[in-house]
Structure 1
Amino acid sequence: MVDIAVEQVRQVTSPAAITPVIPGFHPDPTICRVGFDYFLATSSFEYFPGAPIFHSRDLVTWDQIGNILTRRSQFAVGDGRPSGGIFGSTLRHHNGEFWFVTTNMSDFGGGHLLLRSKEAAGPWSDPVQIPGTLGIDPDIAWDSDGTCYLTWVGFGPGENESGIVQARLDPDAGRLLESPRKVWQGTGLAYPEGPHLYEAGGCWYLVLAEGGTERGHAVSVSRGSSPAGPFEPHPNNPILSHRSMAAPVQSVGHADLVETVDGDWAAVYLGVRPRGVVPGFHVLGRETYVAGISWDQGWPRFDEDRYQVPVVGSSFIDDFSSDSLHPRWISPGQDPASFTAETPEGLLIRQSQTGNVPILATRVLGHVWGARASVLLSGDEAVRFLLRMDDFHWYGIEASGRQIRVVAQIGPLQQVVATAEIDPAPGPFQLEIACNDSPLAGQPGINTGPDEVTLGFREHGELTTLARMDGRYLSTEVAGGFTGRVVGLAATSGSIIIERFEYNHHG
């Protein structure tokens, strides 16, 4: 596989408060440190491989080193619904091992999943399912005598099993050692969730997300002398929120803290970058940001301006000549290995035998970008190159034989937007999708979306743009859910070969 970073790191930085350290659909970050190295994992929902994991030495430049969930024995398909799958998680290092606890909402009911590995890049164990832990957002922590605590958002059925609950855990057996009990429930804002538990300076701190993961999102904290509480809340909660502020990054929350190499503290958290007219549309999903943590009278305080984030190129070219796919490649509800194969000509993608259309995709990492797929077709084969939010919200350009067409799926409605005839030539042909700033942005009285999506093809080197589409319909505000845009390919008939894929980041 040729994996060329087209854009190198430029000597430009921007404040972490407005620039994600891991851009694109990478929500619910969880972080730990081992020596001089930081490791971070995020939610992945219905996409597989699941739970991407990253490494950094400075908290602002991160490299993906793999995915935690790489085998179907770790991540059952379940219902496969959009925004199902892997929810909020916790990554920790204890007694020489990495631990990862998460929830698969597409195979829900049996309890949280606990995995372990000697190396952050894996391979990770098959999960141990923890009975009696119906809910989401599990956290794992150990006190000084080795007692392990599991804290999560309980979904009942009993009163003491609903809300923010906790129990001592035998992590080796995956068994609760006591019945769940309620701990601090937050300040009264909606949907207290995402608990994380830490020891610092002789106190135990319980950090929660509150207010829902939309514009009212916030981070609150309480403290106590024991990991089991009781906990007293910070007198000025929430300690982080952008609600009702004119900040370019909104919905900040779901934070996880880490002690840094130099003895300071930092936090990673999620946020979104809405664009366009009211209500604002975010299309990349929830992204990962970093902030410093200061301590004021024994309480953590967010310093969003502590870190400067270098502008790092995210462009790449892949010719699929390696024996394995880069960890950036994912599929909604499918295992890429089940419908792809490496060939001398490129990557073969097969049509599913079950009637669905499996998609090989990669996350969109910016607002202004272009992607080009060089495709080999013959006979009755057909390809779809698409920009996707979920099964019901996508724009695609399709090619079969001599015909190319643009198709839009918005909710239950599917429409052919444009068609063209081509003169097939030997060798691959190229399909292109690009996202650019809306040409109507800033004009008073004009209802503009976050961007304009263009779809076209190249014939004999000449670009033909077939359609220009409003980006609002591929946004979370329209589609709902918890994910962001991906760009990918599918065989809608027979098998296709992708000779080359180019992603060019422009801003």
Structure 2
Amino acid sequence: MYPDPSICRVGNTYYLVNSTFEYYPGIALSKSTDLLNWQQLPGVVTQTKQADLSHAKSNEGIFAVCIRYFEGAFYVITTNFAEFKTFIIRGVLNNHDEIVWDADRVEINVNGIDPDLYFEDGRTYVEFTGYIDDKGTKAIQQVEIDLHTGEILAGPKVLSFGSGGRDVEGPHILKKDHTYYLLTAEGGTGVGHMITIFKSDHLWGPYENKDGVNPIFTNRDRAEQPLQNIGHGDLFQDAAHNWWLVCLGTQPAAVGMTQITNLGRETLLYPVNWNHTWPVINHGVPTEVVSLADFKQHQQSLLNEQRSTDFEDHFETAKLRPEWLSLRNGLKDNLKLTHQMLLLHGGETTLAQQGTPAFLGLRQASHDEILTVSLATEATDLKQGRLGIASLINNDHFAALLIEADQEHFNVIRQQQVADLEINEVIGTLSELPEQFCLINHAATKTFRVVAKNKTVEFTTAALNFSNEAIAALNTGDIEGLYALGNATLAVAAVSRVKTGPISQKE
């Protein structure tokens, strides 16, 4: 779940931002020096006055983000759909090579989403998508603003209605060879998604839609391709001046005759040849594997092997690693790191509610992977309440495996919701606190398992129940992790997420 990528380069370091919707911290931020391996940095939005996510519904919150570097500072611009506010947050590098973000934001009074920042001759411009009438007509519009106050100095003016696809969005302006280019996404975020491009001799347009050019990148008519929903991209140059594209796409899993998406939308990287008027992205086809035979110069920028996405955390620092996510305005009093241990104190809010439950999760990164949670049983307190693991895609499509104390043993409970169907049943008992919780992901199934010294209790459910197809929305992906309710304390010694192979016929 790293959708809507935007990227900028400062020296030899690349900075990437992604949408986070209802998850906290808001605005995912990563950096890289080789374009293949990315270090997750702390999220940008960590305070309510930067963005209030307390009323964010599922699939709402922080929408598409743009990052740009201008006159020694980073600027991110986004829309918090929960407030319907578009705003800019400024950040600067400190002496430790860390970005320190302003606590205050600069609001821009535009009626739209997916904002872009473009700087020229000391002036600041914002492009965005929004309706221009009461008939549902969408267009890319532009305003000039005062960067420091957000005041609109000129506009809005319509730049483009797109090339004919629905929902023109995700604009980015760039300038090459004295020509302005407007990169957009169209077709909706599903299988019709595509990247389109327009050009003009003037910043304010008109922008030309050249016959035969658009869409410049899409798999909308290539159902056989393993990557789908290609769209919403950002063009940039590396330190050697080669052009690249980052864009979003999905890796649906084939389950029988059905394709389902549990990983959400991900960030993809493609080489671009831009020797003539229009850029050509990977020969125009979003393939899963890119041959660099025709991109010799690009290949010289890819010096390293891409590392595994496996994850392991023993909580050895006083700060939570930035890969972890909570909901809405984040965990405060519920969370503590101490003595190489994470303590998650339960709360009254559940995953089904529009609030901040005591839930701490990681993005599911592969169709086939195992999430393992190792308990510190000596510090786990289960006199009252419930604790365990959970996986969710929104607040009415989730499942949890929980334990609760019951006289001389512990009940193992399956708690699950699929739309209006709710399950809350005891599926077994344990005589002692367990050593581990596991979530075993495969393309078609999710198995929730609790492991004690001499006993294992588990249940299996269809991965379809946690898919974008199940909720008819394509903003987020599956988030899985720790969950505590009531007056319970879950003490965790380690968490790992390891990619595995697909399930065999015998299994």
CA shift for structure 1 position 503: 1.7
The residue aligned with 1:359 is 359
Q: Is the 8 A contact 1:161 1:182 kept in 2?
A: no
Does 1:318 find its partner at 2:326? no
Amino acid at match of 2:420: P
The residue aligned with 2:72 is 96
Q: Is the 8 A contact 1:434 1:453 kept in 2?
A: yes
Q: Is the 8 A contact 1:418 1:466 kept in 2?
A: no
Deviations 1:221-280 (A, max 9, x none): 011112211111233200000012110000001000111111111010000011124441
Q: Is the 8 A contact 1:432 1:455 kept in 2?
A: yes
The residue aligned with 2:327 is 332
Does 1:473 find its partner at 2:455? no
Does 1:293 find its partner at 2:272? yes
2:445 corresponds, among 452, 456, 469, to: 452
1:270 corresponds, among 238, 245, 248, to: 248
The residue aligned with 1:86 is 62
The residue aligned with 2:399 is 395
With a CA cutoff of 8 Å and minimum separation of 6, indicate the structure with the bigger relative contact order.
1
For the residue of structure 2 that corresponds to 1:424, the secondary structure is: coil
CA shift for structure 1 position 28: 0.2
The residue aligned with 1:115 is 89
Does 1:250 find its partner at 2:228? yes
Q: 1:115/1:157 Cα in 2 relative to 1: closer, same or farther (>3 Å)?
A: farther
Q: 1:466/1:385 Cα in 2 relative to 1: closer, same or farther (>3 Å)?
A: same
The residue aligned with 1:76 is 52
For the residue of structure 2 that corresponds to 1:252, the secondary structure is: strand
CA shift for structure 1 position 372: 1.7
CA distance in 2, matches of 1:387, 1:160: 36
CA distance in 1, matches of 2:365, 2:487: 30
For the residue of structure 1 that corresponds to 2:87, the secondary structure is: strand
Q: Is the 8 A contact 1:67 1:121 kept in 2?
A: no
CA distance in 1, matches of 2:79, 2:316: 35
Does 1:378 find its partner at 2:356? no
Q: How does 1:477-488 map to 2 (within 5 A)?
A: 477-481=469-473, 482-488=475-481
In structure 1, runs of 5+ residues without a counterpart are 1-24, 437-449
Instruction: Single out whichever of 330-339 and 199-208 deviates more from structure 2.
Output: 330-339
For the residue of structure 2 that corresponds to 1:473, the secondary structure is: helix
CA shift for structure 1 position 283: 0.5
The residue aligned with 1:429 is 435
CA shift for structure 1 position 158: 8.2
Q: 1:29/1:127 Cα in 2 relative to 1: closer, same or farther (>3 Å)?
A: farther
Amino acid at match of 2:402: E
Does 1:184 find its partner at 2:160? yes
CA distance in 2, matches of 1:241, 1:222: 16
Q: Is the 8 A contact 1:435 1:454 kept in 2?
A: yes
Q: 1:463/1:454 Cα in 2 relative to 1: closer, same or farther (>3 Å)?
A: farther
Amino acid at match of 2:330: D
The residue aligned with 2:31 is 55
Q: 1:121/1:229 Cα in 2 relative to 1: closer, same or farther (>3 Å)?
A: farther
1:344 corresponds, among 339, 345, 362, to: 339
Q: Is the 8 A contact 2:397 2:418 kept in 1?
A: yes
For the residue of structure 1 that corresponds to 2:259, the secondary structure is: coil
Q: Is the 8 A contact 2:89 2:106 kept in 1?
A: no
For the residue of structure 2 that corresponds to 1:359, the secondary structure is: strand
CA distance in 2, matches of 1:127, 1:157: 32
Instruction: Single out whichever of 37-46 and 299-308 deviates more from structure 2.
Output: 299-308
For the residue of structure 2 that corresponds to 1:86, the secondary structure is: coil
RMSD of aligned Cα (Å): 2.2
CA distance in 2, matches of 1:160, 1:128: 30
Amino acid at match of 1:192: V
Amino acid at match of 1:466: E
The residue aligned with 1:420 is 428
CA distance in 1, matches of 2:149, 2:370: 48
CA distance in 1, matches of 2:402, 2:373: 12
In structure 2, runs of 5+ residues without a counterpart are 293-298, 502-507
The residue aligned with 2:505 is none
CA distance in 2, matches of 1:353, 1:105: 26
The residue aligned with 1:499 is 493
CA shift for structure 1 position 349: 1.5
The residue aligned with 2:19 is 43
Amino acid at match of 1:313: S
CA shift for structure 1 position 400: 0.9
CA distance in 1, matches of 2:437, 2:73: 45
CA distance in 2, matches of 1:59, 1:242: 23
Deviations 1:382-404 (A, max 9, x none): 10311111111112101112111
For the residue of structure 1 that corresponds to 2:126, the secondary structure is: strand
The residue aligned with 1:26 is 2
Amino acid at match of 2:498: N
The percentage of aligned residue pairs carrying the same residue is 26
CA shift for structure 1 position 422: 0.5
Q: Is the 8 A contact 2:349 2:485 kept in 1?
A: no
Q: Is the 8 A contact 2:36 2:306 kept in 1?
A: no
For the residue of structure 2 that corresponds to 1:140, the secondary structure is: strand
